[in-house]
Amino acid sequence: MNSSEIKKDIRKFSTKELETLFLQMGEQRFRAKQVYEWLWQKGATSFEQMTNLSKKLREKLAALYVINAIQVDKVQRSLDGTIKSRFRLHDQHLIESVLIPVPIDNRYTVCVSSQVGCSLTCKFCATGRMKRLRNLDAAEIVDQVVLVNQQSLDTFGHPLTNIVYMGMGEPLLAYRNVMESIERITAPDGLNMSPKRITLSTAGIAKMIQKLADEEVKFNLALSLHAADDKKRDEIMPINEQNNLAILMDALEYFYQKTRNRISYEYIAFQDFNDSIEDAKNLVKLCKRFPVRVNIIEYNPIDGAPFLKSTEHRIDDFAKYLRDHHIMVTVRRSRGKDIDAACGQLANKE
């Protein structure tokens, strides 16, 4: 057993817990705030970096605790500017994050992972073929933001503008850690990013969407919809059998009434499966209960999946039908396909 398995990660302590810890060590209470700022504002990965603490205190902390920071394992750069990073965790598991730059719109978005693997087995998603090994700690999620923000600054001279929880895993099945990570990212004594710049994407777990509503969260919500009738959605997303569209629409309407936050539907277009005008009609019906934006996404084929990408012509016709019925719609052309960094492709491939 190595030392990092014995020692507790100091980032698991709240400010109040840190204060208690320092008082027990015979140190002054304000040291807790100093350490907290090093961890959550400055992204310190070792106690040695905490230069406003005495050398003796830094050594004492290093003897008792660890900082299980994630490490860059591999970086791939797409021809379109997208950058995929694979990170190694302290227990040697691997996760991926993606930096999506859109300089023309001044948008620099990081897509972060919330789990090692995923348990939902969506038929079109590479991550869904991996077993869920564990949830990420809040700190491991924040680390992705910190490291990719630095990557964005180094590469494009611009900090991140947006965060999307759309990487590996289902965020609402890692609820507590995801919420804690958002708290750290948005806190004035953390990364101080606006929650309006954050979007959490879910495959659709109604009771957890209601929980978000009851907590009156400030961030945006996206539903990975991909089919506007239960029969088709059951076929590609097994989670729909327990969380059908009627149940999900009730939960989303409740979320909107409680928070007034933006809701979007992510809709991957599969050729001859969900890209007909009849499918568009069904989608329009789902868009009438509360304000919603639809993001139509090009499918990115994965090995062994029985789906093909819809044609540009069919996607454009589909989008036009939605616009003609006063639905806000964006067609998202895939980014990072050449490095398996596009939607549904994250799977830690070599």
Tokens 């965060």 found at: 163
Q: Which of 46-50, 73-77, 131-135 has the lowest mean pLDDT?
A: 131-135
Any idea what the CATH number is for the domain that residue 28 is in?
A: 1.10.150.530
**162 and 197, same structural domain?**
yes
Q: Give a yes or no: residue 134 inside a domain.
A: yes
Higher pLDDT, 126 or 346: 126
Mean pLDDT of 186-190: 94
Mean pLDDT of 67-80: 94
Cα–Cα distance measured from residue 14 to residue 184, given in angstroms and rounded to the nearest whole number: 11
Q: Give a yes or no: residue 196 inside a domain.
A: yes
**41 and 133, same structural domain?**
no
Residue 117 confidence (pLDDT): 87
pLDDT band at 1 (very low <50, low <70, confident <90, very high): very low
Higher pLDDT, 348 or 279: 279
Q: Give a yes or no: residue 346 inside a domain.
A: no
Residue 343 confidence (pLDDT): 54
Instruction: List beta partners, residue 101.
Output: 108
Sign of CA pseudo-dihedral 333, 222, 267, 240: positive
Mean pLDDT of 151-160: 97
Higher pLDDT, 284 or 15: 284
**201 and 136, same structural domain?**
yes
Q: Give a yes or no: residue 211 inside a domain.
A: yes
Q: Which two tokens stand for residue 153?
A: 């600054």
* High-pLDDT (> 70) share of the chain, %: 93
- pLDDT of 4 strictly over 50: no
Cα–Cα distance measured from residue 269 to residue 312, given in angstroms and rounded to the nearest whole number: 10
**205 and 319, same structural domain?**
yes
Cα–Cα distance measured from residue 131 to residue 129, given in angstroms and rounded to the nearest whole number: 7
- If one counts every other C-beta atom within 10 angstroms of the C-beta of residue 157, the result is 8
Residue-range definition of the domain harbouring residue 13: 3-66
Q: Strand, coil or helix: what is 261?
A: coil
Mean pLDDT of 314-326: 97
- Assign 3-state DSSP to the chain and report helix, strand, coil percentages, each to 5: 40, 20, 40
Q: Which two tokens stand for residue 74?
A: 């591999």
- pLDDT of 269 strictly over 90: yes
The DSSP code for 283 is H
- pLDDT of 121 strictly over 80: no
Q: What is the pTM of this model?
A: 0.92
Detail the DSSP E strand segments found in 50-93.
Answer: 65-66, 71-77, 83-88
Last residue of a domain, one of 29, 49, 66: 66
| Strand bridging mode 71-77 / 65-66 | unpaired
Cα–Cα distance measured from residue 280 to residue 317, given in angstroms and rounded to the nearest whole number: 9
Residue 21 confidence (pLDDT): 93
Sign of CA pseudo-dihedral 65, 71, 87, 297: positive
Number of domains in the chain: 2
**21 and 124, same structural domain?**
no
pLDDT band at 275 (very low <50, low <70, confident <90, very high): very high
**250 and 213, same structural domain?**
yes
Kind and range of the H or E run holding 298: strand 293-298
pLDDT band at 3 (very low <50, low <70, confident <90, very high): very low
**324 and 177, same structural domain?**
yes
Any idea what the CATH number is for the domain that residue 152 is in?
A: 3.20.20.70
**Helix axes of 15-24 and 30-40: crossing angle, nearest 10 degrees:** 130
Q: Which two tokens stand for residue 131?
A: 């077993």
**52 and 188, same structural domain?**
no
**154 and 77, same structural domain?**
yes
Q: CA dist 42 to 36, 118, 221, Å?
A: 9, 30, 28
Last residue of a domain, one of 51, 66, 81: 66
Question: Which amino acid is located at 181 in the chain?
Answer: S
Residue range 332-347, pLDDT digits in tens? 876 766 766 555 455 5
**127 and 52, same structural domain?**
no
Catalytic (active site) residue 37: no
Residue 119 confidence (pLDDT): 83
Q: Give a yes or no: residue 16 inside a domain.
A: yes
- Is 260 in contact with 291 (CB distance < 8 Å)? no
From 19, 27, 96, 266, the catalytic residue: 96
From 111, 118, 287, 343, the catalytic residue: 343
Residue 350 confidence (pLDDT): 52
Residue range 193-216, pLDDT digits in tens? 999 999 999 999 999 999 999 999
Output the average pLDDT for the chain: 92
**140 and 100, same structural domain?**
yes
Q: Strand, coil or helix: what is 76?
A: strand
Question: Which amino acid is located at 86 in the chain?
Answer: R
- pLDDT of 127 strictly over 80: no
**60 and 90, same structural domain?**
no
Residue 22 confidence (pLDDT): 94
- pLDDT of 316 strictly over 60: yes
Cα–Cα distance measured from residue 237 to residue 203, given in angstroms and rounded to the nearest whole number: 8
Q: Which two tokens stand for residue 107?
A: 């948008």
Question: Which amino acid is located at 43 in the chain?
Answer: G
Q: Give a yes or no: residue 203 inside a domain.
A: yes
Higher pLDDT, 320 or 189: 320
Catalytic (active site) residue 287: no
Cα–Cα distance measured from residue 344 to residue 342, given in angstroms and rounded to the nearest whole number: 6
